[in-house]
Structure 1
């Protein structure tokens, strides 16, 4: 059996598709992956994957989609799993002669929660389980709520270990695409101070846009890895950490994929949307407010952001309880 998994973006969502790899391999499947070329390298060392194909999602015009489909037709897949289910991936599957199974992203329900807040107490989504449901439609057995897993090459871990503090350390991931997810940097700085006082060093990971924040939190270039590492290298840092403290962002899923516990600070978004860690993977830190959730992705016009008014000491306490 030969299968194609399609998930173009974003980093966290793409990492979560690894939750179905083991089940597919157990069923004897050869696995190909189509994703954004900026994310594709995380799968290249994975021996479970036959082929990794990278494309530029933003450049997938109608003609580009058609040309991509022409190339994919040569592969003779038994199943195509559309684990993105957006217009571009649906269009691509229309041009393919293979059986396509799409995951149900439950977009309508998520949007309903924004307007009818009581629904957040009615149901808890988990994205890996939604991916698993799509794979089960092909008759493949997948455990309930599978967890993601990304392999870090030994040479990458060795290289990163030389850069890390000699004493036990915690990773803080301050990045967030939208302000409704961004726990204030001054509070992250306070968290770092408390962690150092109780015996941990603190390092930061993130993109180039997080360099300044990382420097403010760590106060030292050699502990601020924001903008300096590849995705796999950042995951290697996270793998060797005691735990991670992060906004509701891709760093959460990076931690889950290397089996490092993560404390997630929620603001405008909500765990019920499906991106929260399982209890075995970490903990959720949030403030219960009648106005929450107010956004699917954290893009808000809110002026007060009371949802992010969580004391640093509370964050540290819950993170330490998570690993005790």
Structure 2
């Protein structure tokens, strides 16, 4: 099943010929119909930047817990999400053990001028004074993620037979969430409880997720259309991209928002620790999302306002 999640080279899209862009869009359409996941290469983001983000972030997670606790927040906040605070599997309706991870979370912080919207969606991010280099490297990385995600949304539009700028009106001042997810080693977290994972089974909530991850025995798995868990393929040069629930609703289930999980730390690799860079792209907080009609959409969903929809999802996975 290693070919279930395909790898797509975006180079022809960026080269700009009509045939090349169409070919990439067709490949993306097929991947999102079948798997809801894909790898992308030819994205133009240097390995050096990704490595620099990861190395700097590891310095934060290596700080003593009382120091990290100065930045502690609940799920959806800006700062350190400590162990035990999040259980992604809860979103499926049954209580699950807390995820075996820590996160440092950032979100959109460019104010709109509307004090109510800004207080809810565009507060300033929090930067740990102990790692002053983190702000500069993450600001650079987030700018690149926004540009790449906008490009992916254009590819999605063309894949649906729509103008490349179709989704632009919904992305004028979008929200996003960026998580540095640190998965500690088994020797640190102890033996997992039954049904406990580094991240429990769930789907993402927004439009597209762009993930830079590390290989490991306790790594990412994808739930196939045949209801089988398979290891997601890994390519050090690629980003892993998957679709969120909002985009699946938007396309009337033409495309899949696929369940996935991150396995518990493995007993036969007790020193394995991993760090993932996860950019969840979303939409304008007040965007009204309505299912695209046939022939794009197969099923119809009630319209949702993105910010209200996200608020409900975050409440479901918050522990306590």
- Shorter-chain TM-score category? under 0.3
Larger radius of gyration: 1
TM-score, structure 2 normalization = 0.25
Structure number having the greater helix percentage: 1
Greater relative CO, 1 or 2 (CA 8 Å, sep 6+) = 2
Structure number having the greater strand percentage: 2
TM-score, structure 1 normalization = 0.25
